[in-house]
Structures are given as structure tokens and as C-alpha cells.
Amino acid sequence: MMRVSEITRETAETKISLSLELDGSGKSTVNTGVGFLDHMLTLFARHGRFDLTVSCDGDTYVDDHHSVEDIGICLGTAFSQALGDMRGINRYASIILPMDETLILCAADISGRAYLGFSAAFSSEKIGTFDTELVEEFFAAFVRTAGITLHIKKLDGTNSHHIAEGIFKAFARTMKEAVAIDERFRDEIPSTKGVL
């Protein structure tokens, strides 16, 4: 069964189309109008081995906030749809990932319950023109629509670009493992409740 989804979302602030294939090869075409987010989502697709296409026409003349948040909403929705009833998935995954001087912990539970634990202070307010506070906004939007419990912690790090890149790479590797099918339990829902 193909685990894919296609999302379109249009508001007064953004117009977004997004497609996701969970069992992909890491191919991506990302044009968000926010250069740094393009970079982060491209490496997210590659390291998670997700096939991802994102297009966003947003009100970046105001700032990047609406585009970043709404893309997080769409990506979370895409994961939720592509996972279906979540039969056979690993459900849990975690990693401690190094990125030069930076060390990031990321842990996920595909639980149907939205929660973000985010503890990753940045050493600067901007990376180029990108507001670093938008990293947390992206993940807050993602977990709300994905129904995922996600913890992200910076264990070490000083360079803001490295911190953000480490977060997205750790997120990719964690999600890759969490959504993977465990062939031994392919027909089972990974919960004693029988539903996620």
C-alpha cells in the first residue's frame, strides 16, 4: 500500500500545495518563498528518505511567520493522512544527533496526541533573514495537525545555523524510524487500546 498524501491549503495569507510519500528515496522539490526553510525541508526529505514537494505563495512581504507556520500545518496533516490507521508502524523513535559543535536530542511518539516539548535556545535572533523563533513555531504547527508527541532538546551548540540544521536532521531521522513498518507486526496497531 502506498503511504502518500496530497494537501492543499489556501488562506488570506498563504496558498500551499504539498505532497508526501513516506516510503520514498529522499527526493524533494521545495519552493516555500523562505530560503532557509527550503534548505531545512530539503535536508529533512533527504535524511528521512521522504519524497516531498512543497510550493507556497505567502505574504513574506510582511514576514515569514505565516508561511512557516502554515507549511508546518500542511506537513503535519500530510503525515497524518499518509499514516492512515498507523497499522504496523514502529510508533516510537529517538536519536541524539551531532552537527559539528551542536548536539540535538529528538524523540517522537506517533500517539494521536499532539504535544511539543521544545528546549533549544538559539544564540542569535536571525539566520540570515530567517527569524530563529520560527523553528519552534514550525514544529508547534506540525504536531497539532500530525497528532504526534515530539520532544526536541539542544544538548550542546552555539552556531544558530548548526542548531537549526541539527534539529531538522534529527527530526528527519526520528520520523523515518517512527513511521517505518515493522514487518513482524505489519497488521497490528501499536497500542493496547487497539487504536491510535
CA distances from 176 to 36, 69, 81, 114 (A): 22, 22, 16, 18
Full set of structural domains in the chain with CATH: 4-185 (3.30.230.40)
pTM above 0.85, yes or no: yes
Q: State residue 186's pLDDT score.
A: 80
Q: State residue 20's pLDDT score.
A: 98
Q: State residue 73's pLDDT score.
A: 98
Contacts of 166 (CB under 8 A, 6+ apart): 97, 98, 99, 102, 103, 104, 154, 157
* Packed helices 65-83 and 133-146: angle between N→C axes, nearest 10 degrees: 30
| pLDDT tens string 149-168 | 999 999 999 999 999 999 99
d(CA 167, CA 44): 10
Q: State residue 185's pLDDT score.
A: 87
| pLDDT tens string 26-52 | 999 999 999 999 999 999 999 999 999
Q: State residue 1's pLDDT score.
A: 74
Q: What is the CA radius of gyration of the chain?
A: 16
The stretches in the chain having pLDDT less than 50 are: none
Q: State residue 21's pLDDT score.
A: 98
* Long-range interactions of 9-12: CB distance < 8 A, separation 24+: 9/70, 9/73, 9/74, 9/77, 11/66, 11/70
